[in-house]
């Protein structure tokens, strides 16, 4: 569909070369829940050429208030989230390649990320988040982290050589399952993650390196917190700038 990307091609500073960069890019999205649902739709809409989906869970009815890429039939079967998302994304944009991997990201499965140019952290637990942070640092690729709870959320981008996720959040909480979330709030944060990923791939706009954006969507308040690289960080402290 030659007109699919015409509106973004007309953005000043974007153009055909930016679109080609998106088409050549491989983005790994770890977690296909509330954040991943929104992020994946907008990455596919923008024309990211290859999406690698990693998540070992199946769709449940309680997911449907926020995980908008999944439908009722996916919960009834139930279907793996990655397979459910792959079906929707391929139907939405047949020009892209989508790989569905129904596995958990662990130390022994980081090989699943090989070949990615950028990764999105759309997970819940701190162990997987820090693992993905370390892997991206070692591979020197950008990481876009997002989190949401209730009506609040935050987004930050980790770039090679800059402060990392653990520098900003040395002790992410392990809240487990059942965290209260309004679906629209997850959609806002997931959409922002997609936007930051596209900006990093294309090289447009102002990046968020070293700056975490906190949103209180109940009050409409937005705060930015600037953080520095920590020399004693166990993830990036020993790596060269």
Q: What are the extents of the domains in the chain? A: 6-226
Tell me the two tokens of residue 123. 């997970």
pLDDT value of residue 24: 98
Mean pLDDT to the nearest integer, 22-34: 98
Laid out side by side, the sheet with 152-158 consists of: 97-101, 50-54, 26-30, 118-121, 143-149, 152-158, 211-216, 221-226
Nearest 5°: phi and psi at 72? -60, -40
CA atoms within 13 A of residue 137's CA, in its CB half-sphere: 24
pLDDT value of residue 237: 80
pLDDT value of residue 25: 98
pLDDT > 70: percent of the chain: 96
* pLDDT-derived band at 176, boundaries 50, 70, 90: low
Task: Name the average pLDDT for the chain.
Answer: 94
**Residue 165 pLDDT > 90, yes or no?**
yes
Helix (H, G, I), strand (E, B) or coil at 172: coil
Q: How far is CA 26 from the centre of its chain?
A: 12
Helix (H, G, I), strand (E, B) or coil at 94: coil
pLDDT value of residue 1: 65
236 compared with 175, residue with greater pLDDT: 236
Complete DSSP assignment for 15-47: HHHHHHHHHH-EEEEE--SHHHHHHHHHHHHHT
Q: For residue 196, which of 119, 81, 99 has the smallest C-alpha distance?
A: 119
With contact defined as beta carbons under 8 Å apart, do 211 and 156 qualify? yes
Whole-number Å distance between alpha carbons of 238 and 233: 8
pLDDT value of residue 31: 98
* pLDDT-derived band at 38, boundaries 50, 70, 90: very high
A 10 A CB-CB count for 49 gives 16
pLDDT value of residue 61: 97
Q: Taking the domain 6-226, which CATH number applies?
A: 3.40.50.720
């Amino acid at each position: 569909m030659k007109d699919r990307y015409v509106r973004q091609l007309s953005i000043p500073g974007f153009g055909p070369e930016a679109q080609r960069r998106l088409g050549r890019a491989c983005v790994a999205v770890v977690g296909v829940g509330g954040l991943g649902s929104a992020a994946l739709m907008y990455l596919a809409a923008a024309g990211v050429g290859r999406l690698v989906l990693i998540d070992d869970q199946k769709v449940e009815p309680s997911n449907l208030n926020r995980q908008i890429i999944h439908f009722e039939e996916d919960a009834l079967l139930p279907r793996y989230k990655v397979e459910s998302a792959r079906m929707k994304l391929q139907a939405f944009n047949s020009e892209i390649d989508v790989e569905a991997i129904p596995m958990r990201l662990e130390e022994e499965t980081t090989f699943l990320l090989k070949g990615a140019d950028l990764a999105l952290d759309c997970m819940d637990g701190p162990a997987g988040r820090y693992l993905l942070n370390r892997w991206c640092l070692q591979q020197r690729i950008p990481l876009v982290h997002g989190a949401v709870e209730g009506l609040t959320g935050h987004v930050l981008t980790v770039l090679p050589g800059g402060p990392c996720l653990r520098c900003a959040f040395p002790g992410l909480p392990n809240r487990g399952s059942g965290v209260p979330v309004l679906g629209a709030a997850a959609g806002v944060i997931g959409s922002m993650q997609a936007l930051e990923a596209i900006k990093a791939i294309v090289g447009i706009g102002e990046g968020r390196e070293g700056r975490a954006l906190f949103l209180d969507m109940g009050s409409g308040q937005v705060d930015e917190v600037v953080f520095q690289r920590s020399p004693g960080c166990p993830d990036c402290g020993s790596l060269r700038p």
